Amino acid sequence: MRSLSEIETAVKRASRAVGFSWGNSEEVGKSVRQLELFGLKGIKNLNQYYKEKETKKFEDLNLISETNETSLEAYCPIILGISFLDQIKTIENFKTIKFKKVAYPILFLSFLSRASEISGKKIHAVFDQTEILLNLNVNISSNFFNQEFPEFANEIEIKFIDNKDNFNDLDWNSLYKLAEDTFVEESDSLKQGAAGAGLTDND
């Protein structure tokens, strides 16, 4: 079994070989490593994309707006992903972000996962009819994992989810009341033994 470090290095070098800068190649390496860590077919899809890239001129999207639609070939998922990361502080304030025609969207998915970590917010993404929840680059939740990811997405819709508790005040107060049973009333002996330098300092 290949190590994640080996995967990242090979992807970075292969990406440079097909024409991406070293900086962009490094980003691809990190993203494909993450896909493989999550059990998604990053290497397979990257290989297929690079073969298709030899004969097709995929479109780059450098400035992302709320609605993005290519006029010719589908968007390059790598440049799209890098642009998304670069502009995260701006686009996380958009209500909804839409992309029309994205090639090999699973490659773009890995950049979205990393964007979730940078923004500190979960991301809800819909790839045509497939719903995906990206949770701060810790996991990717979807009911699509047992299927082959499509080579082409007609539309991708993305929403950032504001952070909020999954419980109400009543549940929290009830739990906290139980926790209070473990609290120990502070005594003079506890105060003297509390953390601190004390009477001696070894530094």
Tokens of 175: 């739990």
Mean pLDDT to the nearest integer, 139-156:
79
Give pLDDT tens digits for 10-69.
Answer: 999 999 999 999 999 999 999 999 999 988 899 999 999 999 999 999 999 999 999 999
Which residue(s) pair with 97 in the sheet?
Answer: 158
Q: Note the pLDDT of residue 198.
A: 52
Q: Which of 102, 199, 105, 88 is nearest to 144 (CA)?
A: 105
CB 75 within 8 A of CB 81: no
Burial of 102: CB neighbours in 10 Å, binned 0-12, 13-18, 19+: buried
pTM assigned to the model: 0.82
Q: Looking at the chain, list the stretches that DSSP marks H as alpha helix, in order from N- to C-terminal side.
A: 4-17, 22-37, 42-53, 77-86, 88-91, 105-119, 169-179, 188-192
In the chain, what are the domain boundaries?
4-161
CB 96 within 8 A of CB 158: yes
Give pLDDT tens digits for 106-124.
Answer: 999 999 999 999 999 999 9
